[in-house]
Amino acid sequence: MRNHRPLLGEGIRSFCPSAGYGMFDSTVCDIFLVNDEGELIGRPILAACVDAYSSMCLGYSLGLTGGVESLERLALNLVEDKTDWCRKFGINIKEEEWNCRSLPHVFITDLGREYASQQFSQLSDLGVSIVNLPPYRPELKGAVEKFFDLIQASFKKELATKGVIFEDYQERGGVDYRKKATFTIDEFEKILLLCIVNYNTKRAIDLPPEAVGKVKPFANELWSWSLRNHKDNVIDVTKIEIQMSLLPRTKGIFKRDGLYVNRLRYRNGSFTERFLKGGNCVVAYDPANVGVVYLFEEGNYIPFQLIERFFDGNTISFVKEFYAMKAKDQREAQTLETQGAINLTRELDLISKSKPNIHTEVKHAKENRTIEIKKEGK
């Protein structure tokens, strides 16, 4: 299906007939980096979203971690003002050179773990349609695969002696490119940005028939031209909305003494009736800070504050470790409690058996008590 089949269709633009169809993927960059102290930190991970119609890079994420964290950084970058973003790295561009600060209305992904996750699917709450491609079919997202090839090819020659990896990497007798690592991740990100701007604005592309004679054959020009007639193909959202949509969700339970989430209790003064009535709900939470959770209802995120101050500011991992430790201590204490009860029973039984049964006289109990009280006084 990938290498040995006839290609008789009209290509990717038959599926993506206008701008606003974002293809997502990630790759490990062919370069080794160092930290600020010059120590090797390995290869960075580049995630990108490329418009399938125009081939323009709409946004990217560069970091040392992949997965959902990388996707969150990418989604936030999509809605960044790119002129301000580039300025942070000392690069000045015009708005029309990278005119994207919205989400494409269709996300096209493969079945990678992060793209198949529940958190990524939650972006559909923002109005995005998510299309999952079948496995082992990289050619179906050729736009983003080609982007990675061209971007890396654009810096490899010039950075050949600075930790860039070539075909003989890990071959017997090959060069150890790790020893040539020179750039930090911030320095490499500036290089990457320069390559992306050049990719978007100075790379000649094959225009679709409807655009010939109307637009210059560059990705940013085709993107802007197509969007003028398809404004609904992008979705304007804020960074906060993206961050909230990507928070993991779990079940919450309303009880009289609070909203229970991840074994913690939360409150909100506006939900007195719900606390008394009880019931289940869906809650979004930040694994990095359990101080607040968000009741998710009808597309809204309603904050609830933590009741137990001891956990405020801690992570969900801390809470899980705390309760695991507490459960372990309780199990050990219960074992000691059971053994203590057994030992106590045995001792009391021995004491009882050491004393013979006698018939106690009860007639003069009051006088006997008075005598004993006087003895205590001495």
Each residue's pLDDT expressed in tens, for the chain with a length of 378 residues: 566 655 444 556 667 889 999 999 999 999 999 999 999 999 999 999 999 999 999 999 999 988 888 888 999 999 999 999 999 999 999 999 999 999 999 999 876 676 767 888 898 899 999 888 765 555 566 789 899 999 999 999 899 889 998 876 655 656 788 889 999 999 999 999 999 999 999 999 999 999 999 999 999 999 999 999 899 999 999 999 999 999 999 999 999 999 999 999 999 999 999 999 999 999 999 999 999 999 999 889 999 999 999 999 999 999 999 999 999 999 999 999 999 999 999 999 999 988 888 888 888 888 888 888 888 876
Q: Are residues 337 and 216 both part of a single domain?
A: no
Among 192, 220, 244, the domain-final residue is: 244
Separation between Cα atoms, residue 300 and residue 89, nearest integer Å: 36
C-alpha closest to that of 125 among 98, 107, 139: 107
Out of 314, 337, 359, a domain closes at 314
Q: Do 177 and 165 meet the contact criterion of CB atoms below 8 Å apart?
A: yes
Query: Cβ atoms within 10 A of the Cβ of 351, count?
Result: 9
Which tokens in the block code for residue 41? 């930190």
Residue 257 lies in a domain: yes
Shared domain check, 223 and 152: yes
Q: Report the Cα 274 to chain-centroid distance in Å.
A: 30
What is the sign, positive or negative, of the torsion defined by CA atoms of 165, 170, 174, 179?
positive
pLDDT, averaged across the chain: 89
Count of structural domains within the chain: 3
Q: How many CB atoms lie within 10 A of CB 149?
A: 10
HSE of 185, CA atoms in CB hemisphere, 13 A? 15
Residue where a domain stops, chosen among 244, 267, 299 = 244
What are the Cα distances from residue 95, in Å, to 83, 85, 225?
6, 11, 14
The DSSP code sequence of 253-295 is EEETTEEEETTEEEE-TT-HHHHHH-EEEEEEEETTEEEEEEE
- State the residue range of the domain holding 226: 12-244
Contact 197, 99 (CB under 8 A): no
pTM assigned to the model: 0.79
- Dump pLDDT digits (tens) for 44-88: 999 999 999 999 999 999 999 888 888 889 999 999 999 999 999
pLDDT tens per residue across span 210-233: 999 999 999 999 999 999 989 999
Give the pLDDT of residue 2: 60
Query: CATH number of the domain that 38 lies in?
Result: 3.30.420.10
The answer on 336 and 191 residing in a single domain is no
